[in-house]
Amino acid sequence: MKMTFKAFAKNLFGAKYERLQRSIFFCLIVFWGLHITDWKIQIAPFIRYLMLSTLTAGVMWQTLCTEENAARMQNMLMLPFDNRNFVYSYVAALGAYTIFTKTIILFVVLLAVSDWKPIEIGGSAVCTINAILMAAAIYSFKKYWYVGIPWAVTIVAGILLFGNTVWILPPLIVSSIFAAIHLQRTDGYIFCSQKERKNYRVKQHRHFAVWRYLFRYLGCHKNYLMNTAVMWCVALILPYFLGKMENLFVVPIGFAILSINTPVCILLSCDPDFEQAVRFLPGQKKAFCIPYCLFIFVCNMIANAIFLCGWRNSITALMIVTAIFFALQSAILSVLLEWFFPIRDWKTESDLWHHPRKYIVPAIMLLIAAAIQI
């Protein structure tokens, strides 16, 4: 089991676990930086549990869904492996990766800015472990994954109702044990999801269109599409929150927030072969980057339009011009980042989605929004 775990862990963390060291070092800096500011906020324990659980389960799910896992696993699956050891090692490695590269960052931020009791730290650990095991167990249901919905709803309800007391711990521990027992019986092959290959013709087009390519990409990656839809939902409710800040010119802030649409801004980084091919062909700065920029602009503009439709006060021509400016500016910056600084050496899709680079464009747009206010 130790060898199997090591094989998976080295794949994710690097040969000398350098990713783990980097992550812990980064967290120490974040903790120290926040701690010396002495900035404290009140966060109820159940909110912390909920945040840690949802982030961990979400990232773990995304990591389990990564298509590259199949390539990493196929040789191991070919060997006469012990099923239980294999499943536990795989889940443990992916879980460790999720906790030590993603959850830990949220945890240290929460640790630095709010007051904790020792029991709450223990509770957070139980929540995190339960989230890992539950995500793996529900993933193993495959096409019957929806069976896991009542389970997840029960856990969330439990955290909401008993999250401020120690009574939350027994149900979480029971849930974890249940997930562990289920995983013990799970077939290892379930985690090796093969790419679906549909050998059917698509509608004939004699000529290419980059936008068609990009729409097909989104169509085949439902999670990318879902994230874009979520951003548009955020655009719908954002005016409600920002509308309360009447004294400020908050509309540009809304546009800046809506530019955090990570998936459509990583379409080169997420496909290294495609990136290589685009760089290899001549004239791609114009042939690929301009349509890609327009594609991001359209996605941003739809979000901005929804935001403006939900705006309760009157919409001026200046607001519309600002919406176009922000959508276009963030699209240009996103494409420039993708072209000149693509994300490389990522291990799972979740690395791409949670890469700090995603905050650069919104941060610049927020600065522009602040400049407009001044």
Q: Give contact residues for another protein (rule: CB under 8 A).
A: 195, 197-202, 204-209, 212-214, 216-217, 220, 271, 273-274, 276-284, 287
Q: Tell the smallest beta-carbon distance from residue 371 to another protein (Å).
A: 36
Report CA Rg, the chain: 23
The widest CA-to-CA distance across the chain, in whole angstroms, is 68
Q: Tell the smallest beta-carbon distance from residue 190 to another protein (Å).
A: 23
Smaller CB distance to another protein: residue 2 or 286?
Answer: 286
Closest of 4, 32, 33 to residue 94, by C-alpha:
4
Q: Tell the smallest beta-carbon distance from residue 218 to another protein (Å).
A: 10
Smaller CB distance to another protein: residue 275 or 360?
Answer: 275
Going by the DSSP 8-state scheme, the letter that residue 313 receives in this structure is S
Backbone angles phi, psi at 126, to 5 degrees: -65, -45
Smaller CB distance to another protein: residue 127 or 343?
Answer: 343
Q: Tell the smallest beta-carbon distance from residue 264 to another protein (Å).
A: 14
User: Can you tell me the distance from the alpha carbon of 173 to that of 186, in angstroms, rounded to the nearest whole number?
Assistant: 20
Q: Tell the smallest beta-carbon distance from residue 179 to another protein (Å).
A: 34
Structure-block tokens of residue 316: 């001026």
Backbone angles phi, psi at 42, to 5 degrees: -85, 120
Q: Tell the smallest beta-carbon distance from residue 104 to another protein (Å).
A: 29
Q: Tell the smallest beta-carbon distance from residue 23 to another protein (Å).
A: 22
Smaller CB distance to another protein: residue 111 or 214?
Answer: 214
CA 161 → CA 135, 164, 359, distances in Å?
Answer: 22, 8, 34
Sequence letter at residue 315: I
Going by the DSSP 8-state scheme, the letter that residue 204 receives in this structure is P
Burial of 180 (0-12, 13-18, 19+ CB in 10 A): middle
Q: Assess contact for 156 and 49: CB atoms under 8 A.
A: no
In SS3 terms, 286-323 reads as HHCHHHHHHHHHHHHHHHHHHHHHHCCCCCCHHHHHHH
Q: Assess contact for 242 and 373: CB atoms under 8 A.
A: no
The torsion region of residue 191 among left (phi > 0), alpha (psi -120 to 50) and beta comes to: alpha
Helix (H) / strand (E) element for 95: namely helix 83-98
Smaller CB distance to another protein: residue 277 or 363?
Answer: 277
User: Can you tell me the distance from the alpha carbon of 77 to that of 192, in angstroms, rounded to the nearest whole number?
Assistant: 9
Smaller CB distance to another protein: residue 246 or 273?
Answer: 273
Smaller CB distance to another protein: residue 205 or 312?
Answer: 205
Q: Tell the smallest beta-carbon distance from residue 268 to another protein (Å).
A: 11
CA 219 → CA 63, 215, 216, 261, 316, distances in Å?
Answer: 20, 6, 5, 16, 35
Smaller CB distance to another protein: residue 202 or 317?
Answer: 202
How many Å separate Cα 352 from the centre of its chain?
Answer: 8
Q: Tell the smallest beta-carbon distance from residue 213 to another protein (Å).
A: 5
Q: Tell the smallest beta-carbon distance from residue 119 to another protein (Å).
A: 48
User: Can you tell me the distance from the alpha carbon of 340 to that of 333, in angstroms, rounded to the nearest whole number?
Assistant: 10
Smaller CB distance to another protein: residue 208 or 359?
Answer: 208
